[in-house]
Structure 1
Amino acid sequence: MSKQTKQIIFLKPVMKEVLWGGTRLRDDFHYDIPSDHTGECWAVSAHDHGDCEVATGAFKGQTLSGLWKNHREIFGNLEGNRFPLLIKIIDAKQDLSIQVHPDDEYAKLNENGSFGKTECWYILDCDKDASIVVGHNAKNKEEVKQMILEGRWNEFIRTIPIKKGDFFQINPGTVHAIKGGTLILETQQNSDITYRVYDYDRLTDGKPRELHIEKSIDVIEAPFEAESASSKRELVKSDCIDNETLVSCSYYTVEKQDIHGTAKLNQDKNFKIYSVIDGKGSIDGIAIKKGAHFILPHGYGEYCLEGNMSLICSY
């Protein structure tokens, strides 16, 4: 591995203003935000709608999509015309619309060859009585259609209580919504395809936002089968690191690492993405703190995390 590619790639996040956003990306993470309605930090993204720039080092100023195109060796020469993952921090001050995502097959046919969207949520923080929408109560596809077209939302939507540290895998075809008072870290496929099923009849500039009823009915899985993400979480504790595997699916593996001391680890994947979600410390002597996001390239080898901090790692 060349000296140029054996370096940690720190990224500048892209901020998004949205109807339902707030100020916690500034208040909790100390990011510069464009307004008091900032809902999303695209922390590690090579998407056309938000392409992160490299903040330091030999690749400073280059975009992540540019690195993917021109320096594929950084990512273990993985195949594909798009960087596979997208990491966001989402500040929902108000409820998001009720949504569903297509899978790869449906998106390829109906959305100009886009990826579908499998995603997962780690609850960074939430209000005391916060809840989210995951799933629905319709018995079959016909009932899904009926309930949606008749606007029987209270009957249709499955709402569950949440607390800090909860984790949810959201597969394509799952009706879902983040509700107000929730701060989450989202790991997802690199896709921006979302079908809006219902938006509480809210208006933007005096008009309702676009809904995607037909496509939503097409892709919603029925009946909904709840899979308990919590039962699949695997925690391994040692003196300096508690490593918890949150999920492993065909698109990504996501781990939470709590560092308390000095932990030596090995980067043996195509690449590893890290987000510091609490505390501070260092990686190989470089200071990092809550809100930092970086990529360890292919072939990086052994690395040292030191301090008191919590990180989300995905690959």
Structure 2
Amino acid sequence: MEFLFLEPVFKEAIWGGNQLRTVFGYDIPSDTTGECWAISAHKNGECQIAGGIYDGKLLSRLWKEKPEIFGFYPGDQFPLLVKIIDAKNDLSIQVHPDDSYAKIHENGSLGKTECWYILDCEPDTEIVIGHHAKDRDEMEFMIRNHQWEEFIRTVPIKKGDFFQINPGCVHAIKGGTLILETQQSSDITYRVYDYDRLSDGKPRQLHVEQSIATIRAPFKENQAIAVTEKLSGAVHTHLITCKYYSVDKYEIDGVFAKEFSKYFTNVSVISGKGSINGIPLEAGQNFIIPAKSKECRFEGKMSVICSNPE
């Protein structure tokens, strides 16, 4: 089976910038482009196959028509979504629901577990991870009384950091950050607070009641512990394995050969250039390695982040 290269889908946002063009060479719609949906079969931003025998076909259609490509992975929808996010300004303070809450309250949607790999950031940048409320009652009081400085927990970040964001965790990307996000295929986000910003002259919608219902309190840190090993032709860092996905980074220098998941593997080239089985690769390309692809041969000097469903 041939690799499935994908046409990205772009999303504009009031907090977006132009790094998707300057760093990766994407043809973005404006200088306020916040997201590249790089590998997606979600109805709100679906990728088409670019080139090959399935050229132009939607990923969701291929999922239904050719399940063998994906190793007959169980489920009626492609399970993961890979994004690149350019936050020129701060994103809203937000939280995601888990599967059970989303199924009941969001028309059967999947919940949203996600993780962030920091591709780059400006000096002294922070992100929001968690909160300072000691219990659910204090969490609700702080939110309803807009005690944001007391409530919000921030941590410093640097290039190469990695964070797992479970449902119920208050979080926000802050300005000056470029990340690669691997997540469940869900577009459910509850805004807790948006700095009283206006979009088209109006405040953006908040989801206070849903947020209070889904935020976990007290906050418990869930920092992933990466494990790094040196392989022939690459340095491998295992970033996370959770209920929904496994994520790995490979810094390739020379020739690196590997057999991937029994299902399928998402691949994003985050820097450098080279090839896979003789097919040229460069930063910004995203593709899927089908199930049973046997050994794949990477050559060149590049870094890739791979994810596969659990």
TM-score by length of 1: 0.97
Partners of 1:203 and 1:56 lie apart in 2 by 41
Once the two structures are superposed, residues 16-72 of structure 1 have per-residue CA deviations (whole angstroms, 9 ceiling, x without a partner) of 111100000000000000011000000000001111000010000001111111111
Hey, what does 1:302 align to over in structure 2? Answer: 295
Q: What is the aligned counterpart of 2:241 among 236, 243, 248?
A: 248
Residue of 209, 214, 225 corresponding to 1:214: 209
Q: Identity of paired residues, percent?
A: 60
Mapped pair 1:18 → 2:13: yes
- Distance in 1, matches of 2:39 and 2:230, equals 28
Note if contact 1:96-1:177 (Cα within 8 Å) is conserved in structure 2.
Answer: yes
Give the Cα separation in 1 of the matches to 2:10 and 2:145: 36
Does 2:301 match 1:312?
no
Q: Given the alignment, which residue of 271, 289, 311 partners 2:282?
A: 289
Q: Could you tell me which amino acid in structure 2 is paired with residue 275 of structure 1?
A: S
Q: 1:187 aligns with which of 179, 182, 187?
A: 182
Q: Deviations over 1:223-272 (max 9, x none)?
A: 0011222xx21111023111110000010000000000101111242000
Contact kept? 1:97, 1:197, Cα under 8 Å:
yes
**1:101-159 alpha-carbon deviations (Å, 9 max, x no partner):** 00000000000000000000000000001000000000000000000000000000000
Note the alpha carbon deviations across 1:193-243, whole angstroms, 9 max, x for none.
0000000000011110000000100000000011222xx211110231111
Partner of 1:3: none
**Distance change in 2, residues 1:285/1:89 (3 Å):** same
Unaligned runs of 5+ in 1: 1-5
Q: Distance in 1 between matches of 2:291 and 2:223?
A: 33
1:234 aligned partner: 227
Match of 1:278 in 2: 271
Give the aligned residue type for 2:255.
Answer: T
Gaps of 5+ in 2: none
Structure 1 match to 2:105: 110
Q: Tell whether the 8 Å contact from 1:260 to 1:309 is kept in structure 2 after alignment.
A: yes
One-letter amino acid of the structure 2 residue matched with residue 135 of structure 1: G
* Cα distance in 2 for residues equivalent to 1:53 and 1:298: 19
Distance 1:290 1:304 in 2: 17
CA contact (8 A) 1:268 1:301 kept: no
Match of 1:261 in 2: 254
Could you give the per-residue CA deviations for residues 144-202 of structure 1, whole angstroms, max 9, x where no partner exists? 00000000000000001000000000000000000000000000000000000000000
2:149 corresponds to: 154
Could you list the structure 1 runs, at least 4 aligned residues long, displaced by more than 6 angstroms after superposition: none
Secondary structure, aligned partner of 2:68: helix
How far the C-alpha of 1:80 sits from its partner, in A, is 1.1
- Mapped to 2, the partners of 1:145 and 1:207 lie a distance apart of 25
Equivalent pairs, count: 308
